[in-house]
Amino acid sequence: MESPSQEEIARARRFYAEDLRFKTRMSSPALFEAFASVPRERFVGPGPWMIQSWGEHWTTEEADPRHVYHDTLIALDAAKRINNGQPSLWAYYFDRLHVRRGQQVLHLGCGTGYYTAILAELVGPEGKVVAVEIEPGLAERARIALAPWPQVMVLCQDGSRGPFDPADLIVASAGATQPMPAWLEAVRPNGKLLFPLTAWEGAGIMALLTRVSKLSFAARLQGGVSFIEFHGASHPDTGHRLAELFRHNHSNEVRSLRLDLHAKEESCWLHGEGWCFSRQEPLLNGNAA
């Protein structure tokens, strides 16, 4: 089979971006252009590729780069269940994060860096993205693939621990049973933290936190998601409690993440050590908003 031209690949990439815009009701022109310009094939290794779709795994017949421009999961390390992530899921959340040029972003569990590159396009050359990956092989692949984006720095380390430099946005790409202290400490005033809040069993939910004061974040939990475990950020006791909460499906009651010390009370949705997902509105300088 004759290899496609760069023009044909670019057309496929743009059609893919159009499909994501339609599926997610994407409002950001900058995000659309990022998906339409960042070469996904640069980050998923040489083909043929193992595709995961509708619960099944199959391999493309040849290494035509146009195959990667569909809203599907592409395996990066099948044995460890590591994939490139669902494009529509990240397009949906990135659009609602309103990432701006010049911002500082921390991407935890970056894999080979595809969505790091999308974020780098959004913050532009005047911004900065620090990408963290614990798997040495994936971190090295990310470092090579992200070379065209000088605003990105790739670190091979445990992303559940800090310290990290202050960031306007932190995105975690693996499932945690709770927000880690190092993540919360790094979020700037009015900054955001997005991570999959995952139970010890079953599907999880996406958590979006926005800092409103030193001890309080506005919190929104929504959407069923499935992610591999974030090394160092998954605790069995909390995971089992989450599984029970998810079964009752009351996550829409959560309004805030409290960091102030308090005894467990009726408004606590999930009370942890030093943190609490709460039904209360977020606190502004110690007072309810």
CATH code at position 178: 3.40.50.150
Q: What is the mean pLDDT of residues 54-83?
A: 89
Asked if residue 157 is part of any domain, the answer here is yes
Asked if residue 158 is part of any domain, the answer here is yes
Please tell me the total count of domains within the chain.
1
Asked if residue 127 is part of any domain, the answer here is yes
Residue 3: DSSP 8-state: P
* Residue range 92-106, pLDDT digits in tens: 999 999 999 999 999
Asked if residue 112 is part of any domain, the answer here is yes
* Residue range 113-156, pLDDT digits in tens: 999 999 999 999 999 999 999 999 999 999 999 999 999 999 99
Using a 10 angstrom Cβ sphere, with 0-12 exposed, 13-18 middle and 19 or more buried, the burial of residue 70 is middle
Q: Is the pLDDT of residue 260 over 80?
A: yes
pLDDT at 14: 98
Asked if residue 104 is part of any domain, the answer here is yes
Asked if residue 231 is part of any domain, the answer here is yes
pLDDT at 52: 83
Q: What is the mean pLDDT of residues 205-220?
A: 97
* Residue range 217-254, pLDDT digits in tens: 999 998 889 899 999 998 999 999 999 998 886 788 99
| Domain enclosing residue 239, as ranges | 81-288
Asked if residue 267 is part of any domain, the answer here is yes
Q: Are 108 and 161 in contact (CB under 8 A)?
A: no
Asked if residue 22 is part of any domain, the answer here is no
Handedness of CA 213, 215, 219, 224 (dihedral sign): positive
How many other β-carbons are positioned within 10 Å of the β-carbon of residue 102?
11
CA distances for 153 relative to 108, 113, 140, 148, angstroms: 12, 11, 12, 11
Q: Is the pLDDT of residue 287 over 60?
A: no
